[in-house]
Structures are given as structure tokens and as C-alpha cells.
A and B are shown apart, each in its own frame.
Chain A
Amino acid sequence: MAKKSAIKRKVKAPESINEQASVSEQSENEEDEDLLQAVKDPGEDTTDDEGIDQEYQSDTSDDLLFESDEEGNYLGRKEASSGEDEQGEEDDNDDEEEEDEDEEESGSSDDDAKDDQPSGSKATLSKTTGDSSNIAVAIPPRRDPSKPEYENSDTSDEEDIRNTVGNIPMHWYDEYKHIGYDWDAKKIIKPPKGDQIDDFLRKIEDPDFWRTVKDPQTGQEVLLTDEDIALIKRVNSARIPNPEHNEYEPWIEWFSSQVEKMPIKNVPDHKRSFLPSVSEKKKVSRMVHALKMGWMKTTEEVERDKQQKRGPKFYMLWETDTGREHIRRIHDPVSAPKRDLPGHAESYNPPPEYLFDAKEMKEWLKYKDEPHKRKLHFMPQKFKSLREVPAYSRFLRERFLRCLDLYLCPRAKRVKLNIDAEYLIPKLPSPRDLQPFPTVESLVYRGHTDLVRSVSVEPKGEYIVSGSDDKTVKIWEIATGRCIRTIETNDVVRCVAWCPNAKLSIIAVATGTRLLLINPKVGDKLLVKKTDDLLAEAPSSDVIESERIKTAVQWSNAEPEEQEKGVRVVITHFKPIRQVTWHGRGDYLATVMPEGANRSALIHQLSKRRSQIPFSKSKGLIQCVLFHPVKPCFFVATQHNIRIYDLVKQELIKKLLTNSKWISGMSIHPKGDNLLVSTYDKKMLWFDLDLSTKPYQTMRLHRNAVRSIAFHLRYPLFASGSDDQAVIVSHGMVYNDLLQNPLIVPLKKLQTHEKRDEFGVLDVNWHPVQPWIFSTGADCTIRLYT
């Protein structure tokens, strides 16, 4: 160490003398520090201009310093700098660099320790007396707290400056011998510069050469101390230059929430803080004035105003209760219906019968997913006291649904029929006023073994004849219910008809394809005899029958064995006969063969034993035919319609539209103006022939297909038999006054027949004089109701 300092002294000897002279008055310590500053300051001053240079150079200096940790690195540094052209230049540069670095260091250390020691650590750079004591100063001394901070000097003006050229780039002096001027305005002569060889030799010889730098201002060489180098190293490795500085000192909370007795800062308060502000005073007075005048409002007032403004304002909107001001309204307003008011079931304490029992509870639970199917929309509950009643859980939901109803449910004005069901039943006279009519079953005629298809009453009203599927025809005495005679036939008996002419006793029986004319041999003996005579032989006729008729019908007298049974004439048809009906006078009779195509309806004349086919074309499947009681008219019922033909003129008079699927039978009022039609689709139709081709009234009295229907000859009654085993007797009054509509009143339902294979009543027929009705059923019986 001593050696180093000695060299230093030797090198800078001339200058140190000067220096000593200039600052002799100052104490040693101070002197040191001043000197340090003097060295440092020019560097600081030059930073403005040379900053860029410095930066530029710092790259190389970096290299230098990194490699200079070891001695061998010196060569490396040389290599690095050997890239430049001139050796001398290079040296200069090197020197400069080193100096710059020093300056940097001093600057940076200065910055770090600004608070504590503005004088910096440059004591090491002192060329004068520094010695070991100076070196000790290099470590920044802690400031004595008792001393004031700015005791020494707080300006840079008093720095020791030897060269007065100021802050200029020093290369301006490159061409001169001097480097500037000292305080006495004398030239500072550049120190003699050895040639390259000298330098080289020095490099070799002087072990401290690497730590020698040149002061650019004075041109003197300065030897860097160990401390300086340590400092430089620390700076270059981006550490805090002061090795003593503890980075991790415990944190002292100066500015805490606690109020200290003494101020943290010792800085005296500014004067402003003691004097009231004039401008503020003006502002405040202006505000006070505004408040007084009501131009300005306090925040409270503003808030209150806002509060008041927020709520709605109410006033007298309607001047009177009912007065109406004309304003445009929604078109045709429909007010929403009010909700139903609660009944007993909704009570919190209802009568016990309103509570659900187990069955109702089950039903309630069953419709959990379809609540609209429930009887009530809530479950009645009983609470012992009002205290126990909870809030209704669906209350909100119900109110919400009501709201939805109010704005989303389509509204319309509808006339709601608030009538009793009774009101819809037409006002009809009571059946009691319309007697007589059959009310009770009085006789049952048993004897047939299969379903009885047809029944017919003798014109005088003493006997009936019935035809059954057991291939027999039976003749019964009405009054006793005794079967007088049983006539067996070869085939199923489809229809029987007693000749309506009281002077003849003939029964027409349709069995299979044959039509038998039977003399029942009951009643008046004379009449029987006369009938026999009449049917004994065929009247001779010269009319040649057409082929069409011949192939369809053959008349013949009965065989002897059949004669025994009473059969007199047999009319053989080409197809099975469905129905046979007499003309009122008993001379003509008509048969129906549904399968006969265009020859399905035939008219036979008994007196001439002749047959006619009235229609040349088939108009459909003929169901039944009927003679008009008075006029020469012929009714033909096909499946859907009824056609009325004039037999004299041979033309169609009318076509009645039934609007039904399948006609089963028909019956004409004795006066001939009204026709009743029964259909298989449960309906009965009343046609007023004068009025229209459409039914005057359609009755749906039966629950099943209606099989037959019949008018009474004398009484205003008609009856219908149906598959629902009922015979319904109705009142059907036809008035002579044409303006008055017929009166139809259902009177009595007689339901005593038993059901057999879907069939109930097959045929009904009235007694010619009494209000009695005969019905045949599938239960093999004939019943008489009186």
C-alpha cells in the first residue's frame, strides 16, 4: 500500500504543491473532501457533453473491468483495444476511459450517499497528503446526527477547480501544448507524453500501470486505490457501491397511523399555511350569498327535492263520480271477468265434509301433472286455530297467473247461455192428456222357436198372424193368446200380411222365394168359404205376359198337401222375397226382392192373377214398398231415398231425401199426407208430403237401430220397435187445418222384450181398432201392450 501511494506522490508531485498552496487555510479533513470534489466535479460537469461518449465507451470498459479481476486479464484488455489503429491514441483513450469510469463511480456513489455525504468517497483520488488516513475516508462515514446536514457546504460552486476552461470537450486542446488555464490564468501545460515505447516499458515495469488513469482536465495521471477498484467492481456488477450499506435493514414505519409527539420532518411550515386564503374567502362568500338568495342548494336540500320529485303526484283526476270525459280509448273495451269468490271449502276451518277423504286425496295426487283436471284448484285444509294457518304457498303463483290472464288472455264478448236444461226441451202436452195409448204389457204369445220376424192383425181385430224363422206361420187369437193354427212352410218366413179387406180372409206369407196366399180359416165361416171359392181357380186371361215378367214370377195353385194347410195360391219368385204389402182394397199386393236388380219390386193383382214390374231400371237397393191408402201412388224406399210414383201416370212424383244411411221401414198416415220412415241409424223421420221433400222432424228416440214403425189406423198414435228392445209409442196428431203443424209427442217406452243376438224388437203392428200394439221380438215372443 505504502508503495502505491509513494508512486502516486511521485507522479503528481508538481500539482500537489500548487494545491497545497491554494487550500492551505482549510483544515486537513476539509481539504481532503474538497479535493475529492475537485476531482469529481469536472466529471460531473462534462457529463452533459460526454455522456454519449461515456456510454459508448462503457462497453469497452465493461470488458476491461470484467477481465481485470485477475492480473492476466490485462492482456485481454490489450487485445480488445488492439483493434484500433494507433497505439498512442489507444493509450489516450484508455486513460480517458479509466478516468471517465472514475467520474462515473464518483457520480454514482455520490447519488447513493447524497443524503449522508455529499463529499463522496473520492478521498482516494487525493493526490496530496491522503495517505492511509485518506484511504480510510473512502469508506463513507456515517453522518454525525448531531451535526446539521448542510453544515459544510451545500453548493457545488466551492469545488476545487484547477482548470478554468469550464465544461468543454477537452479534445479542443489536442493541438495545443497546454490543456487549459489555472486560476492565475496561466497555461496548464500538458504533462510530457512519452512515446509508445516508454509507455510500453511503463506497462511492463510498473505493476500499478493498470490502475493508473489520466485526469483529462489536468493531464495528470492518477493512481486508483483498492477501494476505488472495489467500488468500480461493485458498480459494474450492479450492486450498491457502498459495501457497508445493508439492503435488508428492518423496516421502520415512519408514517404510521399513530400520531407522534414530534413531527417526522423537521422542515419548518410554509408561511402560506398560517395565512387565510383570500381567493377561498371570496369563493365562500360567493357561495354564502348564493345560498341566501336561493340560487344554490345544499346537498341535503337537493336530496330532499329529489326524494319529493321521485314519488308520484296525486290530484283530483276525476271531477265527478260518473262524469265521463271524452278521450280516445281502446277499441270496444271488454273488462276482464272477476275471480270467483271463495266457497266454504276454502275456509281455514271448513265444515268437515269439505275436507278430502282418502279417495279424493288419491285423485288429487293422481292429477299432479294435470292440475286443471282437478275438481278444486286447492286442497281444503282445516286448522284448529288462526295461529296455525301458514302463508298460502301458491299465492304468488296465482297472482302471477292472474296478471298473465289480464294481459295475455284473448278476450271476446260472448253471450253465455244461462238457462236450465229443461228450457231446451220443447213444450209438449203431458202424455196423461193424450190417452189412450198402450202403457202395460198384457199378453205374451209364446210358441215360436225362433225369432219372430213379422206380425199382422186381422182387419176385424180378433186374430193375429205371425211368421218366424222356425219356418212356421202361426195364427193366434188375440184375446186369449191361444195359437189356433200353425202352418209350416218350407223356408224362413220373412213377412206376413193379412189382407186389409175385411171381406176376404187371406194372409200373404213371404217364405223364401215363394209368396203364399193362405186362407187362415178363422172367423166368419162364410167369409172363409167365399175366399176359398175366389182363390179356387185362376181367371182366364188373354193378356200375354212379357218374357221379363214370366221369368220373374209364376202363379200357381197350391199343392194338395199345402191345400190342407190352407195355402191356396203360390206365387213363385225368382229371388227370395223380403217384404209383402197389401193395397188398401185387398186386390193388389206388392213384393220386394232386394236381390232382384231392376225387377226387385213387383205388383200382383189377385183378381186377375197377374203380375207387373213397375220399374224398368233399378234405382238402388229397394228396401220396402208401400201403397198409398187413398191415391194411386206407390212408395219405394231404396237405401237412402224414398220415391213416390204415380201408378196411373206411371211417373215419379217426388223424391224424399232422408239423409240417413239405411232405411229399414216406413209407414203412412191413414190420411195419406204424412209418412214415417225408420232407419237403421237410430232415427225416425216424419215427412209431411205436402210440405217438403225433407223431413219435417227427425226423432232420435231409440238408442239402437229402428227396425219397424207403424201408424195406428184410427188413433193419432204411432209406434216404433228397435234393437234396443224397446217399443216406443208416440202421439202423432195430424190436424185438418193445413197451417197447423203435426204434433209429435213421445208417450211411452215399453221395454219388456229380451235381447237375443243384438236383436230386440223386429216388428210392430197396431190393432185396427183398439189402441193396442203387437210387437215381435228376437226372443221368440209376440207381446201385446194395452
Chain B
Amino acid sequence: MRRPKKYESGEATQYISRRAALRKLQLSLNDFRRLCILKGVYPREPKHRRRAQKGSSEIKILYHTKDIRFLLHEPIVWTLRDYKIFAKKSGRDRAIKDFRNLKRRLALFPEIKLDHIVKERYPTFIDALKDLDDCLTLLFLFSTFPSLHLIPREQSNLCRRLTIEFLHYVIASKSLRKVFISIKGYYFQAEIKGQKINWIVPHYYPFKPQSRQEVDFKVMSIFVEFYTIMLGFTNFRLYHGLNLAYPPQFPSGVLQDNDETLKDESSFVSERIAALNFELLRTDKLQEDEEEPDIDMELLEQDGDSKRIIKMKQDAQEITRLRTLFKGLKFFINREVPREPLVIIIRSFGGKVSWDSTVFSGSTYDEGDESITHQIVDRPSLATQYISRDYIQPQWIFDCVNQRQLLPTNQYFIGEKLPPHLSPFVDAKRDTYIPPEERALHDPSLIETHAQSDDESEEETAAQEEEEDAVEQELLDAQLQRAYQEETAEYKKYGGADGVNEDEEDSDDEQLYEDEDESDDDEEEELDEKAQRLLEEKQKMSVQSGKVHKVNKRQVHKAEVDEHRLQARMVKPRHRNLFRKLIREKQSKEKEEWLLRKKRRNIDTDAKEQKKTAKRDARKAAAAAAAAAAQLGAK
């Protein structure tokens, strides 16, 4: 038997470099790239690069030989070759101005068929759902694009159509779970068939001309080419799952037939569909509320209550509550507020929504409607306001969804300084830094206790200041008396006013975490101990009553740390590097956390200081005014 030579078997034959792959497939690099993107073939990282590259150690792009062999049998390779032939022949026709032939050829343009590739890349529907993240984000981006050299108008139109269809599904199935406004765009998370699907909708006008080095639209366009097909099939199946007619249509009753609609029906309908504000046509006639979750619950109840099941039950309940979060509420979106993201959210949680009819077609009621409960505004003030509704900023909607409950609106009123918008995607039980706002959300009790302590502290400070201001007190009293009388008079005149107590709430939030300051007072303790020791030495001569031995926390801690360090040195040599890496990571994380905490503390103290000075200034001003008033009175 012949002895095999080096690199004739094993890893060297498992991998093939890109250049070799090109030669084997007889494709140009561009075609190969296109093929790889469409077929989802990617380079592999070999276990031993040197061996896989037949001894050379430079880093090459390696593909699995089997993948390349798999590409060899792909029918679209022939279409790619046909493209080349097409380009050659049509170019010739154009050159010799044989336009009759050219027209005939253009009609015979070799179309690429990707249906089988979708099936092959995603053998089950769930697989397709799992891979929907990138697809949706890219299509949402492309749906905003103008017509470009490399991106035909049709492609971006198709993207727009498919994404709107998907949003309709999300609304109809009420599968939206989490939403988040980031500086990059709106993050949405939907749960479809148990898969969590995240996508980003960019803020308005994301397109900006890009240099060739920065962004190659050609590559993205190829991705979009595949993703549109994939999303189309996914939408088809999703719609059928809900018994909706797939190319989305409206039931006949929804749209009034007037001249305008009849004139250009297709564009009218597509516009209305893009408005996302109407129910779609169902293929089954009966339209009832889904009862699936209830059935699930019953099944769970039979199983008894282990911890997991209890948790699942809670989740299910929460989700049912979330689905009807905005039920019965009527929203109106002001002109300046981004319409689409808000419409998706409101409609998928059962609310009714409309907007100014000049902004976009499909509005159902106008601003004057008295039954509107919330108007979403994003401007500092509004000229005409209705008493019957809350004027809130858009963040309220997002925060409500993330909290899965209707939050009090007073923090989100028009012109109000908004509380921080927190990400719903971070794990609540993580061991890194948790900002106080988030902690308050998980444990509402925290707010109250701290509010109380805060009040106390305020009282104390007030007491201190009382002494200082003792002289002015009488004047102040007189002033206050007068002010109070005026105020009551006004009150009688205008009726009750609301929203006075916001200042207090603000202060609550800001003074949440004082105890952190107190936790770092080891040094003080040590100082105390030294003093004690000195005292002891002084009084050594006389007999003293026994003292309780106080453990020096710091020393104990240091001893523990030392001990731990020594033990850490016993890590096995083969784990040592890993251990070091882990420790380094942990340390950096801790440092990060510490830094954030420190920053927060500084910010809080600054804010407190400012408030105090402001208060003092206000008081002084009031005193001065009172004095002036008294003088006037004397005259």
C-alpha cells in the first residue's frame, strides 16, 4: 500500500482556499460572492490553520470543501453564467444598434429563482424565524432608501411592502413584547412561535451617501435580494397561520367607495395598508378573540405547581395583560411625532390611534374628537388643549410597554423633563451596575422608603435653617399669610388646579441612594479604633471594665482577600491563563460598575446642592419681597 503523502488527507483536504474555490467553480469573484451570500456559504475557521493551509501560516479565507462541492451542483450557478452571456450579447446589440434584437433579449432576461434556496437554508419554518433579525433590520433600512445606482426603486418598494406586511402580522397577532428607543433607532422585540425576533427601525432619513470604502451597496443589495424572498415566504406562512389573506386586503366594509378610491384603487389600498390602521381581511369569517392562552393555563394547572410552572403561569398572565394594555384607550398622534413606530405599538396592544389626516392617509378621527384619552405630543407647549385628555410625550408609550402596565402620566406630561428611558433588554438579575431607576422599577418599595428618609432629612435641614432665619421668621410669616390668602382667592376664582406635586416626586427619585455613601465609611471606623486605643493606653494604669472586642472589619477582609489570593495561586497551570483572563474581565467589570456608581453619586450630590441653593435663593427672594411689602404696608 502506498503511504499517503503529507497534506493528502486530514484537515488539509477538508478545507479549500477561496482562490481554489473560484477556480473549481469557474466563477468570477463577484459571482462567487453573490453565490455565497445567496446560498449562505461562509468561510470556516479550521482547528489547525497551519495544517489546513498545507503548511503556510498566513491567514487565508478557507471554505469547507464539502460546501464548495455543494455549490457546484447549484442551478443558480448556471443563471449567473447566463447573466454573463446576456450582458455580452445585449452589449453587442446595443453597440451595433440592433434594437429589435435587444428588445427581444431584454424580455428574455434570465431571472434568478431563490425559492429552493430559502427552503434549503431554512428546512423548518422555525429556522427561518430564528434568522429573521438581520433580515428585518436590513429590509427596514432599505425600505427607506431612495432609488440608487445599485439599488433599484423596485427593490426598496418591495422591501417597504414586505416590512409593512410583517408589521401587520405583528399587530394582528399581538406578538410585540419589548420596545426601546435607542440613538440608533427603534428596537422592537416580538415573540413569534416562541422565537424572539428583534429588529431595528432606523430614525427618520437614515440614508446618507457613503463612500465606496465605507459601504458597498452592492453587497447589501444581494443580501436584500435574498432576504426579500425569505421574508415574503415567511409572511405568507405567518398570515395563513392567522387566517389572513396574504397579499393583505381590507374587508369590503372598511373603505368607503368614493371617487378618489375608485380612481386609483391599487395605490389607494397600498397607502391604507401602509397606514397600519385597519384590520385586514380574514379568510375565515368568524372573528373572535383567541383563547389559546387560557387553554394553556388550564393544562398548566393540572401539572401542579413546581417553581417553573408557576413562573410560566405568571409569564402567561403577564402576556395576556400586556396584549390588552391599551385596550379602550384612544390616542391621537401629533404631527411632529414619528407615526409608524407608535402606531405599531398602540395597535398591537389594543389601542385606537389616529393622526392628522395631512400627515399620512388612513387617519380615522381628527384632533377634535372628544373621546380621545391621550394625545402624544413632542413639543414644549401646545396652544389649544382639551381638558379631557392627557398630553403625553411618546416615551410614555414605550415605558408602559416595557413595564407591562399603564404608568402614571404625570412624569411624561407635555414639556416635562422626562425620566431616563431604560433598556428592557438588560437582564434584571445581572451582577453588574443597575441604575437606581431600574432598581426602583423592580422593587417599588425602595422608592417609598427613600422618599421617607429624604423627607426626614429635608425636615432636619429645615430645622437647621430655622435657627438661621429666626430673625426673618416673623416677616416671613406675615408674607406667607398674605400669600396664602391670595392663593385661596385665586383658587376660588379658577377652580382646582392639578399637577402641583411634581417637584416632590422629582426629589424622591434623585435622593434614592444615600446609603451607598454610607457603605464606604470603613476609614472612619479605623480612625475611631485608633482613638480608642490611645484612650486605652492612657487609662491603662487603672482597672477598667471589660470591653467588647470589636472585630476590625477591614483587617478581616484583608485577611480573607490574602487567603483567597493564596488559594488562587493554586490554580492548575493549564488553567492559569484562563483564570487570569477571567479575573481581568471581572476586575474591569467591577471597575466599570464602580465608575458608574461614582458618577451617579457625584451627579446626585450636585443636583441636591443645586436644589438646595435654589431653594435658599427662593426663600431669600421671598423674604425680601415680604420686607418690601411690609414697608409698603407701613406707608
Contacts and interface: CB of A to CB of B under 8 A. Distances in A.
Interface residues of A, number: 90
A321 B426 contact: no
Contact of B183 (A381, A406, A407, A424): A381
A699 interface: yes
B229 A343 contact: no
B250 interface: no
Interface stretch (B79-87, B205-213, B299-307, B480-488): B205-213
B44 A412 contact: yes
Given A399-B138, A411-B44, A412-B44, A316 B237 contact: yes
Given A397-B214, A424-B579, A426-B572, A386 B378 contact: yes
Given A344-B426, A389-B203, A392-B185, A322 B125 contact: yes
When A and B form their complex, which 7 residue pairs have the shortest distance between CB atoms, in order from nearest?
A341-B425, A412-B45, A421-B582, A331-B66, A353-B600, A410-B45, A318-B125
Contacts of B394: 386
Given A348-B182, A421-B579, A386 B395 contact: yes
B134 A396 contact: no
Given A410-B45, A424-B572, A749-B565, 17 more contacts: A314-B236, A317-B119, A317-B233, A322-B125, A331-B67, A342-B180, A351-B420, A351-B600, A395-B206, A397-B215, A399-B141, A400-B219, A403-B220, A407-B36, A410-B61, A412-B46, A426-B571
A112 to B, nearest CB: 41
Contacts of B423: 341-344, 346-347
B618 interface: no
B628 interface: no
Contacts of B39: 330
A402 interface: yes
B124 A397 contact: no
B378 A348 contact: no
A321 B125 contact: yes
A331 B422 CA distance: 42
B181 A389 contact: yes
Nearest to A380: B183
B269 to A, nearest CB: 16
A11 B232 CA distance: 107
B436 to A, nearest CB: 8
B459 interface: no
A348 B202 contact: no
Contact of B578 (A329, A386, A424): A424
A325 B119 contact: yes
B169 interface: no
Contacts of B73: 328
Contact of B125 (A320, A397, A426): A320
Interface in A376-409: 378, 380-381, 383-387, 389-393, 395-400, 402-404, 406-409
Interface in B94-140: 114-115, 118-126, 128, 130-131, 133-134, 137-138
A391 B202 contact: yes
A346 B423 CA distance: 8
A335 B129 CA distance: 13
B203 A400 contact: no
B173 interface: no
A330 B40 contact: yes
Contact of B42 (A375, A409, A698): A409
B36 A392 contact: no
16 contacts: A322-B126, A329-B70, A329-B121, A331-B64, A331-B70, A335-B131, A348-B183, A353-B435, A354-B435, A357-B599, A387-B379, A399-B138, A412-B44, A424-B575, A426-B570, A701-B566
A347 B421 contact: yes
Interface string A647-680: 0000000000000000000000000000000000
B19 to A, nearest CB: 15
A746 interface: yes
Contacts of A744: 570
A324 interface: yes
Which of B130, B181, B570: most chain A Cβ within 10 A? B570
A399 B563 CA distance: 49
A327 to B, nearest CB: 5
Contacts of A393: 208
A504 B94 CA distance: 117
A357 B393 CA distance: 28
B349 interface: no
B491 to A, nearest CB: 32
B136 to A, nearest CB: 11
A311 B236 contact: no
Q: Which label, helix, strand, loop or mixed, suits the secondary structure of the A interface?
A: loop
A736 to B, nearest CB: 24
B183 A425 contact: no
Nearest to B73: A328
A339 interface: yes
A349 B419 CA distance: 8
Contact of B43 (A348, A349, A408, A698): A408
Given A421-B582, A746-B567, A411 B43 contact: yes
Contacts of B418: 349, 384-385
Contact of B203 (A335, A350, A392, A700): A392
Contacts of B216: 400
A412 B394 CA distance: 43
Contacts of B623: none
A347 B181 contact: yes
Contacts of B579: 421, 424-425
Contacts of B183: 346-348, 378, 380-381, 383, 389, 392
A445 to B, nearest CB: 25
A407 B437 CA distance: 41
A314 B215 contact: no
Contacts of A700: 569
Contacts of B435: 344, 351, 353-354
Nearest to B568: A425
A428 interface: yes
Nearest to A346: B182
A400 B204 CA distance: 19
A597 B425 CA distance: 73
B64 A348 contact: no
Contacts of A332: 64
B33 interface: yes
B187 interface: yes
A194 interface: no
A747 B182 CA distance: 51
A699 B571 CA distance: 9
B22 interface: no
B146 interface: no
B313 to A, nearest CB: 24
A329 B123 contact: yes
B630 interface: no
B30 to A, nearest CB: 13
Contacts of A431: 563
B171 interface: no
Nearest to A379: B183
Contacts of A426: 570-572
A478 interface: no
Interface in A295-343: 310-312, 314-318, 320-325, 327-336, 338-339, 341-343
A417 interface: yes
Interface in A599-635: none
B583 interface: yes
B575 A396 contact: no
Contacts of B567: 425, 428, 745-746
B184 interface: yes
A314 B232 contact: yes
B178 to A, nearest CB: 9
Interface string B19-31: 0000000000000
Interface string B435-467: 111100000000000000000000000000000
A328 B70 contact: yes
A365 B365 CA distance: 50
Nearest to A381: B183
Which of A316, A347, A426: most chain B Cβ within 10 A? A347
